[in-house]
């Protein structure tokens, strides 16, 4: 009987490993294809997309240089604006949603419950339903710059962040906060000196998820920003398309890799915190 159970466990483990290996391959393969095609000539990409670079079609860093030097808009400006938007948006989301989640869970009122469920409901509203109205509203309110668009990102990113933070706040003992109050801490001191450090793993997990979203986002900046003055990296990649639909595939794939690389590095460095934070926010709630 024990031998049968062991065989079943081994079989289940092997089946799951095979399944997840296949899923991983499906997700990673497009990135690998983009990576090695970024070192091939444009003609080779058109005729042999899935072939590895050879001596005849290998162009080295030429595609990266062409992508950076393309057009009249400096590529470093696109990098700068992507960085500014990402940093400001993620910082705003983390600060506001963590405080909101803490308040919702510590103040048991109908208003807090309504706010919480509105945040959850916002997660299921498709962006396409509001994008045209949002574009007009952002233009009227002056939210069409890299320094003001984070307010819009806060609205779209609040749902998931409040959900994860709320789940983790439930696991924080009230005794810790009561002890801080007895020691003389006011509300803000209790949050920033006691609660916030405890939520470190959730801050990291939510932060990485939001960074991956904001950094790679194309549609929202394209609809809101003035593209003659402000461009993010995804928008700059779109402008690699020339007249009559002509596309420099080599330069495009080079810039895509330059866009993906920082996120991939950050993700691998912080992946253990992501898993820990998501589990603590979703299970303990």
Distance (Å, whole) CA 107 – CA 113:
9
| 247, 240 Cβ separation under 8 angstroms | yes
Which pLDDT does position 101 carry in this prediction?
A: 92
pLDDT at residue 278 in the model:
56
Q: What is the pTM of this model?
A: 0.84
Spatial contact of 153 and 93, defined as CB atoms under 8 Å apart? yes
Return mean pLDDT, the chain.
85
Residue 99 backbone dihedrals phi, psi, to 5 degrees? -65, -40
- Give exposure, 252-271, as e/b (b: 16+ Cβ within 10 Å): bbbbbbbbbebbeeeeeebe
Domain ranges across the chain: 66-283
| pLDDT of residue 229 exceeding 80 | yes
Please say whether the structural domain 66-283 has been given the CATH code 3.40.50.300: no
What was the pLDDT predicted at 284? 44
Q: Is 257 a residue whose pLDDT tops 80?
A: yes
DSSP states along 186-202: -HHHHIIIIIHHHTHHH
Q: What is the pLDDT of residues 87-134, one digit of tens each?
A: 999 999 999 999 999 999 888 789 989 999 988 888 888 888 888 888
Host H or E run for residue 210: helix 200-216
Please tell me the least confidently modeled range out of 9-13, 95-99, 116-120, 153-157. 9-13
Q: What is the pLDDT of residue 245?
A: 59
């Amino acid at each position: 009987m024990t031998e049968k159970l062991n065989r079943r466990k081994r079989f289940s483990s092997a089946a799951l490993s095979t399944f997840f290996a296949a899923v991983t391959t499906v997700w990673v393969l497009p990135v690998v294809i983009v990576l090695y095609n970024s070192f091939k000539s444009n003609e080779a990409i058109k005729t042999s997309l899935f072939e590895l670079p050879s001596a005849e079609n290998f162009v080295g860093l030429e595609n990266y240089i062409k992508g950076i030097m393309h057009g009249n808009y400096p590529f470093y400006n696109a990098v700068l604006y992507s960085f500014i938007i990402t940093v400001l948006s993620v910082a705003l989301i983390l600060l506001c949603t963590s405080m909101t989640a803490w308040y919702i869970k510590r103040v048991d009122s109908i208003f807090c419950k309504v706010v919480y469920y509105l945040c959850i409901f916002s997660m299921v509203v498709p962006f396409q339903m509001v994008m045209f109205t949002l574009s007009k509203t952002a233009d009227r309110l002056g939210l069409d710059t890299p320094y003001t668009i984070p307010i819009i990102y806060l609205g779209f990113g609040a749902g998931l962040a409040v959900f994860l933070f709320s789940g983790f706040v439930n696991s924080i003992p009230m005794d810790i906060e009561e002890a801080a109050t007895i020691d003389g801490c006011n509300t803000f001191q209790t949050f920033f000196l006691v609660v916030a450090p405890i939520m470190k793993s959730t801050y990291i997990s939510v932060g990485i998820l939001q960074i991956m979203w904001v950094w790679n986002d194309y549609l929202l900046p394209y609809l809101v920003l003035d593209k003659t003055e402000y461009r993010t990296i995804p928008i700059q990649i779109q402008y690699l398309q020339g007249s009559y639909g002509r596309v420099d595939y080599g330069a495009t794939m080079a810039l895509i890799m330059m866009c993906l690389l920082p996120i991939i590095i950050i993700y691998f460095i912080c992946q253990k915190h992501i898993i820990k934070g998501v589990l603590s926010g979703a299970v303990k709630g």
